[in-house]
Chain A
């Protein structure tokens, strides 16, 4: 993917961020941070707005409120009668909302000629949020779909149960999409509006753009910089690993480990390497072993990098999940001793390739830029030319990986999801 020019106008907004580039800076205050990565040949532009905001509300007792707010704002008609989501679609574009325990992102992908207009529409909608009872109803319907998906897609269900186990308190303890549909009747229009006005204020925003950003650069640079964003919403890890069985709609096993925070870039990159080498579907060692043994199981795993302590989450589903979990545990244990050079070199090459392959499209790159900036380390975004991630990944060695594995990957947190049947849990 083309990454010809990297222009970062100013991103020193969110407290605690380790900011890097210093390119043209507008002196205006109380505006969003703006990060751009230009690829004029792509012909499309991805525009992300990322906000630091807890998924279950500022008091921790409003499950799903961040998603409700982000969706309701996008559903509210403007004075011409069309909503933000409709306007983006009307440009031939795509709009999506992504909510995580500590941050929320919205994304519009549009033809480059419409990018300036799309950015203006996003700013107008989110920086002056309006929510009505009708649009909150639409948001509840949207959230209800998310609730169903989270219950029925094994990977999502396992992740939700696992993170609740890994974190004793804080936003990560409760999934950003509630598991209980009855909670959908919770927050009122006033509650959601109040949340939106705090979460979506300009100074709490990172605007990340990738693709052909030529037409939007001037518009985006109009209001830049200023402090006043919220501090990170970190979660507190559980004191000790536990194993728990949870009644659910699907069967599955989750293995989890608390890892380093984003500030420890070397350790975080090593955890990414471990996740990629062992657990990436198709190419991971565990997935390959499962296939070679003829087992019927799906294995996936990744390290989720956050401002606070991150987590390695491994999800396993299918009839042979127990056997696959045993393979996963064995492979993790083996990593505590340094890999031999003949095995490590190709594994690192594969990992570095995956880093770039996963960040090659404008939507992927905008997500990376926005996520890492919101989590406090914009220069560490994977795939960013000149960023620290590539440098650290290239320098990874067996000893570093082994020491990180020894430090973080001890006894796992384990969750067994057991599908409910009539008459109780089977």
Chain B
């Protein structure tokens, strides 16, 4: 195999994911709590794999204030529930994720602010059995104290990993400030301390009240066939009917023109992440926001002290924008790695650029930025099966047609300077700022 390059990319996955999926890869959809389950299928019989993405409205917004990490703990325990599987004629009890892998597949769980995502991907012939196993786990999850202890250990490792990732730290701080009236902004895995408080009864209670059929979306792609569909329906049937009590949200209220959050971690250089409000995907302002994101990103890169390089991987990880358009609190994040040099000047440039954009006299054509914005939208996810399933689920969750991405790309190409400035004026006025600084270095020096 030739996986040299791919493995290297995996090493850098933490930040690279955010950089390479700048258009909403870190967010969640607002499925209606009362909506019936939705199944979307975009099958291709010639595909070599099959994938199904589940959006289950059991995210962090179902947590109460003292339940930081409970959604993640529940999902982690669920995907490790022992199930009975026959491999090479031998019946075994294996954790769900290993049982699915044993037949040629994978199961990935992601807990977000407003949903849990379960993604099952297999060789085509293995999908019905994988879905049967998922059904078994949902019908009879293992939330024993031993299982919870194992899940807790997994989350503690993930929490530890995040502590050296400045971009994750910055966005998590902003999430917390951004969503003030629900658990959606809580830490993705809680903390070791908060996890220690949670026990098997908490997990079982969360599962029973949150893993509900209403509002769930299943998005199937690849070599999906009738046998898969029947198995998929059984998975949805395993969820309890109805929905959890609706969780109310309101837009964050900022009491000052700007807010600054600071954290110190064992990192090598200061980072800054700035968050602005942004339109949802359904909003007519969305195309202009995509162009705005591209304009800010490209302008910052040109203004950075890093010499222009042909391979953009380094810059992609250091300066960029993340437009989260698919949850109830859409946002645009600008992130800058101060390690590029002259962090103070770089951070000032970033903030100044965003704040004066609505007043600058924009002349000439936006064509260059529009092409970049449209390209970023179309290239997000690089066409993997999982990214396709995710897109279709997001679009279904917002009641948008399956070809909306292409429609949006076309609309991006028609954004005018007047429209761009109107959107900048509307959204870029009230940022929240997160600074992640190297530990043991006085802030004044940064």
Contacts and interface: CB of A to CB of B under 8 A. Distances in A.
Interface of A: 1-4, 39, 41-44, 71, 74-75, 83, 85, 89-98, 100, 109-111, 114, 138-139, 141-142, 145, 153, 155-156, 159, 211, 272, 275, 281, 283, 300, 302-305, 341-346, 349-350, 352-353, 355-358, 360-364, 367-368, 371-372, 382-383, 385
B222 A92 contact: no
A155 B11 contact: yes
Nearest to B384: A361
Contacts of B376: 92
B7 A155 contact: yes
Contact of B103 (A110, A303, A349, A372): A349
A2 B87 contact: no
A363 B2 CA distance: 13
Interface residues of B, number: 55
The 9 closest A-B pairs by CB, nearest first: A92-B375, A345-B88, A349-B104, A353-B104, A346-B102, A42-B383, A371-B2, A361-B382, A85-B310
Contacts of A141: 307, 309
Contact of B5 (A352, A367, A382): A367
Interface in B374-408: 374-379, 382-385, 405-406
B383 A39 contact: yes
Contacts of B87: 342, 345-346
A357 B121 contact: yes
Interface in B86-130: 87-90, 101-106, 121-123, 126
Contact of A1 (B373, B384, B409): B384
Contacts of B384: 1, 360-361
B372 interface: yes
B193 interface: no
Contacts of B10: 281
B360 interface: no
Given A44-B379, A353-B104, A4 B46 contact: yes
Given A138-B307, A145-B309, A283-B101, A90 B372 contact: yes
B368 to A, nearest CB: 6
Contacts of A4: 44, 46
A153 B8 contact: yes
A305 B309 CA distance: 30
B310 A350 contact: no
28 contacts: A2-B44, A3-B48, A4-B44, A4-B46, A41-B44, A44-B382, A90-B371, A109-B379, A111-B375, A114-B371, A139-B310, A142-B310, A153-B11, A156-B8, A283-B101, A302-B3, A304-B1, A305-B2, A342-B88, A342-B90, A345-B88, A346-B103, A349-B103, A349-B123, A349-B126, A357-B49, A360-B49, A367-B5
A74 B88 contact: no
A75 B308 CA distance: 9
A353 B123 CA distance: 6
B104 A350 contact: yes
Contacts of B11: 153, 155
A90 B374 CA distance: 10
A1 B8 contact: no
B340 to A, nearest CB: 12
Given A42-B383, A92-B376, A75 B7 contact: no
A272 B382 CA distance: 25
Contacts of B375: 91-93, 110-111, 114
A44 to B, nearest CB: 6
A4 B6 CA distance: 24
A71 B310 contact: yes
B206 to A, nearest CB: 26
B169 to A, nearest CB: 21
A372 B3 CA distance: 12
Nearest to B102: A346
Given A90-B368, A300-B7, A363 B310 contact: no
B94 to A, nearest CB: 9
Nearest to A142: B309
A302 B1 contact: yes
Contacts of A363: 382
Contact of A138 (B8, B121, B123, B308): B308
A100 B4 contact: yes
Give the interface centre of A4, A42, A89, A372 by most chain B CB atoms within 10 Å: A89
B104 A111 contact: no
Nearest to B7: A300
B311 interface: yes
B312 interface: yes
B35 interface: no
Contacts of B46: 2-4, 385
B90 A92 contact: no
B314 interface: yes
B85 to A, nearest CB: 9
Contacts of A357: 49, 106, 121
B313 interface: yes
Interface in B30-89: 44, 46-49, 87-89
A367 B102 contact: no
B47 A3 contact: yes
A2 B47 contact: yes
Contact of A303 (B1, B7, B106): B1
Given A94-B312, A341-B88, A350 B8 contact: no
B22 to A, nearest CB: 11
A368 B2 contact: yes
Contact of A356 (B6, B123, B308): B123
B310 A75 contact: yes
Contacts of A155: 7-8, 11
A100 B308 CA distance: 23
B105 A353 contact: yes
A364 B6 CA distance: 8
A52 to B, nearest CB: 15
B309 A138 contact: yes
Nearest to A93: B375
Contacts of A360: 48-49, 383-385
Contacts of B222: 1-2
Contacts of B126: 349, 353
Nearest to A153: B11
A95 B104 contact: no
B7 A302 contact: yes
A160 to B, nearest CB: 11
B5 to A, nearest CB: 5
Given A2-B44, A352-B104, A346 B314 contact: no
Nearest to A351: B104
Given A1-B385, A342-B90, A353-B49, 13 more contacts: A3-B46, A90-B372, A92-B378, A272-B1, A281-B7, A342-B88, A350-B101, A350-B102, A352-B123, A353-B122, A358-B1, A361-B384, A367-B5
Contacts of A93: 375, 379
A136 to B, nearest CB: 12
A89 B309 CA distance: 12
A343 B405 CA distance: 44
A350 B308 CA distance: 42
Contacts of B371: 90-92, 114
A302 B90 contact: no
Nearest to A271: B1
A1 B310 contact: no
A154 B36 CA distance: 49
Contacts of B382: 44, 109, 361-364
B378 A44 contact: yes
Contacts of B90: 342
Nearest to B6: A358
A1 B103 contact: no
B160 to A, nearest CB: 11
A358 B310 CA distance: 25
A281 B373 CA distance: 34
A153 B379 CA distance: 27
